[in-house]
Amino acid sequence: MREAPRILACGMVLAALGGWAGAPRSAPPSQPDAHPEATQDDLRFVVSEAQRVQEADVAAWAAYRFGRRSEREDYDESGRVVGRDDLEFLVTPDKDGFREDLLRHNGLTPDPSESDRHRRAGSFGRHYRTLVAGAGGEQEEGGYSLGQLLHLASYRFAGRESLNGVDCYRLDFSPEDVQPRTSGLAAKFTRAMAGSLWITVEGFHLAGAKAETVRPISIALWLSKVYDLKVSMEAGPVGEGVWLPLRVEVNTNARIVIKSIRRRNLFTYSDFLRVDPAG
């Protein structure tokens, strides 16, 4: 059942996105009290610009060194914490992709063998390759991507909102809006999710996203079921016009055969610094 929380994490927030073909259109009305009902051309313009900008942001990530923290908590049926894990990495671009150095494990300095194991595993590097390919994976940060969310059948303009002090367009979606780009487990999740995207008015960057299941999802020949899945993401500027994720949280309530899985995964990214991969 590890795949359930993994299928839906940081990949939800970043994917290599293709633009929509067609001539440029005028941007939506810029009044602070813009009516939620925007025209289809307005919506198409915002989404196509967000796709184009997101593709550029994903590509730029390969030039940044950053801190990555992966925190996990497991709960019993009563909500009591029964397990924790906390990994802190320094991720640096290199000629092969990224070098991932484990700095601390549960607050302690890791032993060399553990550091080597995580470096060889290269979990973020594998995740990043799925983003560049525009597809989801089953790594801990892969799977349910904005490659799905930004290619739904339709959206509803919910007007303009300030998110973390930034003026944004809010786009809402529901399962009725969904036409997944791919099949399989990721598409099954997509068809059961409702939520919102926040796109910055200036620059059309993805500033935030929230999604949650509206019905249970059966997987693994009905032996496993995800009853509830909630995902949220916040992004921000990291320099030179690039926006990248700062915080991704995934909460999962599932069952595999007779075992209950209640888990919270939190991924945070910090201290972005543009570097020369060849340096």
3-state secondary structure 106-146: CCECCCHHHHHHHHHHCHHHHHHHHHHHCCCCCCCCCCCCH
Average pLDDT estimate for 174-197: 70
Q: pLDDT band for position 154 (50/70/90)? A: low
191: its two tokens = 């068809």
Q: Which of 16-20, 27-31, 108-112 has the highest mean predicted lDDT (pLDDT)?
A: 108-112
| Residue 72 contacts residue 35 (beta carbons within 8 Å) | no
Nearest to 196 by CA among 146, 237, 240: 146
Least confident range from 101-105, 156-160, 220-224: namely 220-224
pLDDT reading at 151 higher than 60:
no
